[in-house]
Structures are given as structure tokens and as C-alpha cells.
Chains A and B, each alone.
Chain A
Amino acid sequence: MSGKKKADLKVIILGDYAVGKTSLICRYIDGKFQTQEPTVGAAFFLKQWGPYNVAVWDTAGDERYSGLSHFYCRSAGAAILAFDLNNPKTFESLWARFGSILEAANEDCLKIVVGTKVDLLEPEHREITIEEGRKLSRDLNEHIDIRKLPHDPYFETSSLANENVQEVFEYIFQYCLPLSADQKKRHRNQQKSVVDLLENSEEGDKGKKKCC
């Protein structure tokens, strides 16, 4: 099922404790939001992207697990660097903590800076500007030809409101494992049908509750 050879791309997500890494991944993989328990060690997910298998490693933010980082960073094709938009400290950590950790990843590893919990952000209290985020994302990707990318690898997401989550992953996959327009369409349809079914069933549940 999950053999190393079979995965065509390895994506890892890094970031401080409780910035919402697992929520982001669960929103993408399972299509739903639920409060998450803190991750222990590192967790492994497998995801289909067209004909490709993508291995996604969700990691624990606690410092005590840094011994594992070499293991999951090695040969990573893309890294999501997540921070909490409401907590500037977590943004600083991206530089301070994770820059060195990522040296073990592929040389051409794409680094995407993702601000989470945008739904909690009050614009007047914003401490990290969009421009700062973009700048960091450009600085981190000095080694790759940034012109090939549609825009700076910077996103602001909300796993709760399902905002920009799909876009993060499709951005990565389209860069690392480009699909033809036709393949992409088929993939979208697959995704869509999954989401539709889920929404239907959720509605069904609600209906039942009302009956009772």
C-alpha cells in the first residue's frame, strides 16, 4: 500500500505546536474539520493526484520530536511551512527552527508558506502583513526558478471555513507533478463527487436529527 517506491512525491508539513497542521491535512484528505488532538511523532497519509501517489507526512510541532525531522525531511519534494496568522511567534519560528531542518530535504524542494486560522484574524489586529509572508516565501525558494510558479508560494487558509486548502495542495502538485488539462479535469470531478456525497450525507444526518 504505502511502499516508499510507490509514492511519487513526498510532501511534509512543518510548523510550531498547535498552528493547525493536522487540521489543514485532515481538511484536505477527509474533507472535514474537527478539533484535533496533538500529533504524536509523525503521521503518514497517502493521497491520489491523478495517476500519482503522494505521501503526506504530518509532523508534531513539539520540539522534543526534532530527532525525527531528518527521517521525514529526507527526499521531500515539497514542504508546507505553517504558521498561525494570529501568533507572530509561530511566524518567526519558520525561520529560526525549520530552516535548518529542511536542509535534509531535496535540493529543489518547494517551500510553501501557509498562514492558518485566517477566520480568526481581525484585520485591524493583523501583525504579519501579506507582504511579509510573501517575502519569506520568496526568500525560502531562492534556489528554484520562481517564475515557473503562478504566484508567490504563500497562502492564507482556514481549515474551519475550507478556505484556500485545496489550492495549497493543488499548487504543490501542479508544480511537482503537472497534470494535463484533461487529467486535471478528471481529478477535479473525482474530488467533487467525493465532496458532494459527503455534503449529502451530512444533510441527511441533520434531517434525521430534526425528525427525532
Chain B
Amino acid sequence: MAAEVREAEQIGNTSDSDSVQTELLETNEIPGKSENALLVATDSFEDLNYAGLTNGTLPTVSTSGTIHSLVKKKARRASALLDENEAAGDNTASSDETTNAVDQESSEVSGEDSQEDHLESRLTDLSLNETESLPEEIPMTQLIPTSSDIEDVNSLEWKQQRRHIFIISESGKPVYSRHGSEDKLVTIMGVMQALVICTHDFQKDTLRSIVAGDHKFVFMCRDHLTFIGITRGRESTQQMLLQLTYMYNQVISVLTLSTLTRIFKQHRNYDLRRPLSGAEKFFDNLLNLMDVEPGLLLSSVRCLPLDSSVRENISHSIVQHAKVKDLVFALIIAQNQLVTLVRMKKYYIHPMDLHLIINLINASESFKAAESWTPICLPKFDACGFLQAHVSYLDEECHTCLLLLSVDIEAFYILSECKAKIKERLVRYNALKAINDSLRRNSYSIQQCSISDLRHFLYKSRSIAQYTSPELEAPYHTKEEQQRLFDLYHYLHDRIHTSGRQLKILFHVGPYETLLGWVTQGFELYAVFGPLVTKTIAIHAVNKLLRWIKKEEDRLFILSSVTF
């Protein structure tokens, strides 16, 4: 496929692109820019970097102990929070140490070869074909999957999966596999863990990726676990790493980092599937979400388009009726889109954490039955403790979900009252109806931007970590075409961010569409045009688009953050 593509690329590369950029950008104002952001501003390039992945710490939020300090703050209601903090007189201290130790260790490793582009050993070697042998080499009899080995490594269905994700414990025990049952994959998982360990022990190096034929194997080791992603799609190594990082965060979200380290400290060969049982659906769902939701790639969140007055009204209702001690975040999510977020002063939410929250709701139907109370760890907020989430749907159709995140495990009944009051007020002011109307209108059509030949785009405002994009319309109305569009975005994103040098502008002519990617201090824009568009037309169109987004920014983004 890639070989067929006629490429004509013009790259404004780093050296002179500043001047190019100022010439290109016709407006001075960046759409969706805000000094008062509600999310932790992210830069997907940094997040994709090895250094960024391993350090994890953010300037605004400390990775650990946030909950502890929040709890400490309130008048020594000791042992109130969670057993994490309860049992943790010595525990918080020790787990802090371990976090640091792990961080140091991994940053050392990444320091070693951060100069070279990552280690990509191209193995066309035969030894690998044993595990990834090509279908045509297998005799016909083996190709037909029988019911007994349908989930086996030899089954065609298993082999033809576009992407595999595995989690293995340090001692080589299977923890998770996206396709097939872990029990039947013990051997292949053992082989992969052996590769990792051999590289580490004999070469004193870290195995990062292998390319074999059209498959790419990406490895990530963190906290006694090895995460392995295998793809024959167009994701780059670093994009796969980002996916693995999300998987790691999901593990932490279920267990907390302190529990994870404690478990493996006590029993090196512990079967982690036990504490994770029932959580498989969160992993599966998260991976599915990555295939349809560009926000995870961009480390940003999509907001439900709403008139700013309506949104203000909603946040105001929450502030007024949920002014409760120990409530850290209150948010409303409707069909994977953020409606509003109210936060405690000084505490921010990271888009990666927000994606885990969205995944929690998205993956489980059980919240639709009744008000629920569940622990959730947000790794970027505090990897070592649980927040308690009060989860409830506000409407009969179960579209609009309210989440109240507190550090107090006893707060359920108070939050339940808050929820009743918030709901009543939102019904009275027709805010729920406004949310439902917006959901029914399906975001917006590309035609509303009235730019001919522009087929689709992703626009991310960096300072607020939010993105916007129109509905998927023809020609991207089938699953295959949507997959192709996603591949294009992955390609564009990768070329701009991770080809060793960061580009500012990339113009790419493909057989079916023309792509323009543009990254500045303030925004990232990925636009898809018809195939016959020239560079000048594309740049004009993009400027027009930026003006349109600027005009609509109050509706498309949450520009000011509300605190309790």
C-alpha cells in the first residue's frame, strides 16, 4: 500500500519554519486559547517521547501523594480514606521511594540512547517466523480453525488480528491478552518475556521494538510488568508506546501503584489476573476506544458543543449544589464528550486520566441501573491512592452521566443528595434537554465550515488540551474508510512529531486525499482535503478554518475553568 502511494511532500522544516509559519498564519488569534485551562495542558510530542513516558511527572501536579495531602489537610480524620492510606503509615513513604526509584531507573535507560532514534532491530530472521509465520507457509489443513484451537496461536483468526496487546508479569506469567485466552498463549508470552530479559541481562540494554515483515513489535517495561504491542497497522513505534502507556495507566487505575508494587514485592510470581479479574472489559474497551477516538492519540478531550451560557449554567448548578468538603472533581460526560468539569482549587485533571474516566463509564452498563460508588485511581493525579467516584445518570435514556470524585469513602450519601439537587436544577433550567439536543444534532457537519474540498479535520488547542472535529461523513461513512482515515491521521501525526525532528508543517499528496498537518505553539491541526488540492489552496482553506473555529470557540471548547 505504502509503496503505491505517490508522494509529493513539501516540508517546511525546523530551521526556516518560524518565518514560514508567520507568513502562513493569517490570524493573530489562536482559536480555543485560554490562560485559565481546566485540564493539564499536554503536548502529545512530549507524551510520546521516551523521556516523557518514563518521567511521568508534570509541573503542575505531583504524581504521588496528592490524595494523601488532601486527606491530611482535613482535620485528622485518621484512617478515614481508604485502606491504601490506612495501611500506609509506612506505606506512602515507601511507595514514594519506589516510584522515584523506578523513575530514576527508567530515565537512566532512556537517557542512554535518547540521541539515536530508538533501537529498531529489523529482524527478518527465521527464528521469528516460528511465532509469526505467514499464513501461506502453513499447510491447508491447519488453516481451518477447529473449535478446540480457535484461540490458539495457530488459528488464522488470531493471526489476522490487526493489533495484539499483551501484558506479562516479570516472571513471565500472562496477565492480559486482547485476543485469545491467556492460558493458551502462555508459550508465546514466555518467548516474548525471554526476548526482553535476554536483551536486558546479556546485552545490558532495553528491547524497544522489532520489525518483522509488516509486523511491528513494541515493548515497554514498567513496574514489574512488560507491555507488548504488535501491530500491522500504520501506528508508529511511539504511537504504540502511547497505547501501551494507556494500558499501564489502566492497570494502575484498577489497582493503584502502591498495591502493584506491594504485590510483586511479596510474591514475584503472583498471578495478577486474580486482582484484575472482572477488569478485562476495561482493557478491551480502552483499546477499542483508541481505534475510534482521536483524543487518546492527541492527549486531549472533546467537548460536547453547547452554548457557553448553557454550559455556564450547568457548572454553576454544580458549584452551588455540590460544595462539599473533600469533593475534588465533579464532571458531566455525555457520550464520551465532556460537558463540564468543576475542580477543587489548585487541582487539575490530566487528559489521560479523563480518558480513563470516560473508559470507566463507556465500558460498563451497570451504572445505568443505579447510583454507584466505586474506587478509581487516576495515575496522573495520584498513582498511589483511590478516589471514590459517585456515578449516576441524570436522564432516563442514560446519555448524561454525572461523576463526583471525592477522597472521602464515607461521602456517598452526601453526594447522593448533591446529585438529586443538581439533577433537579438541570431539569428546571432545561439544561438536560440542551445536552440531549446537542447529542442528537451529532456535533457538526464539515459543511458548516463552508470550505470546499475540506473533508475532515482534527484541531487541538494545546493550552486547554481539548480538540474538536466534525462528524465522520461520506466518504468516511463505512468502517473501512474510517479506519483508513484514522491511518492517515496516524501517519500525519507520526511524520510531524516523531521522525527524529519535529516538523511544523507537512503537506502530503496521496492517491485519494491531500493532507496538511500544522503544529504551532498554540495548536495542532490535521486536515484532510480532496486529492486535487494544491498547497496554496490548502493553506488558504486552513486559515479560513481557523477563523471559523475562532468564531465558534465558545461553543466548541470549555475556555474557562470553574472551581468550587
> What residues make up the interface of A, taking CB atoms closer than 8 Å to B?
1-4, 17, 22, 26, 36-45, 58, 60-65, 67-68, 70-71
Contact = CB atoms under 8 A, between A and B. Distances in A.
Nearest to A69: B83
10 contacts: A3-B416, A3-B417, A26-B369, A40-B360, A43-B369, A43-B371, A62-B279, A63-B274, A63-B277, A68-B374
B278 A42 contact: no
Contacts of B389: 41
A64 B254 contact: yes
Interface residues of B, number: 34
Contacts of B277: 17, 62-64
Main secondary structure of the interface of B (DSSP, over half): mixed
Interface of B: 82-84, 254-255, 274-279, 281, 360, 364-367, 369-375, 386, 389, 391, 409-410, 412-413, 416-417, 420
B420 A1 contact: yes
A64 B276 contact: yes
Nearest to A5: B413
Nearest to A17: B278
Contact of A71 (B84, B255, B370, B412): B412
Given A26-B369, A41-B372, A4 B364 contact: no
A1 B10 CA distance: 63
Contact of B370 (A4, A43, A65): A43
A116 to B, nearest CB: 18
B275 A64 contact: yes
Nearest to A68: B375
Contacts of B274: 63
Nearest to B410: A71
B255 A64 contact: yes
Contacts of B391: 40-41
Nearest to A39: B366
B371 A71 contact: no
A63 B263 CA distance: 14
Nearest to B84: A67
A151 to B, nearest CB: 31
A41 B369 contact: no
B37 to A, nearest CB: 30
The 6 residue pairs across chains A and B that have the minimum distance between CB atoms = A41-B374, A62-B278, A37-B365, A43-B370, A4-B413, A37-B366
B373 A68 contact: yes
A60 B373 CA distance: 10
B272 to A, nearest CB: 11
Given A41-B375, A67-B375, A71-B409, 10 more contacts: A2-B417, A17-B278, A36-B369, A38-B278, A39-B372, A41-B373, A41-B391, A42-B374, A68-B373, A68-B409
A96 B369 CA distance: 29
Contacts of A3: 413, 416-417
A173 B43 CA distance: 57
Nearest to A38: B278
B386 A67 contact: yes
A61 B366 CA distance: 13
A38 B281 contact: yes
A40 B416 contact: no
Most buried by B among A38, A40, A61, A70: A40
Given A62-B277, A64-B276, A67-B82, A44 B375 contact: no
A65 B279 CA distance: 11
B255 A2 contact: no
Given A1-B417, A2-B371, A68-B375, A40 B276 contact: no
B370 A58 contact: yes
Most buried by A among B367, B386, B412: B412
A141 B409 CA distance: 29
A41 B413 CA distance: 15
Nearest to A64: B275
Nearest to A18: B278
Contacts of A63: 274-275, 277
A94 B200 CA distance: 45
A62 B273 CA distance: 11
Contacts of B370: 43-45, 58
A39 B371 CA distance: 11
B410 A43 contact: no
A36 B365 CA distance: 8
B275 A40 contact: no
Contacts of A36: 366, 369
Contact of A64 (B278, B366, B416, B417): B278
Most buried by A among B276, B371, B386, B391: B371
Given A38-B364, A42-B373, A60 B416 contact: no
Contacts of A2: 371, 413, 416-417, 420
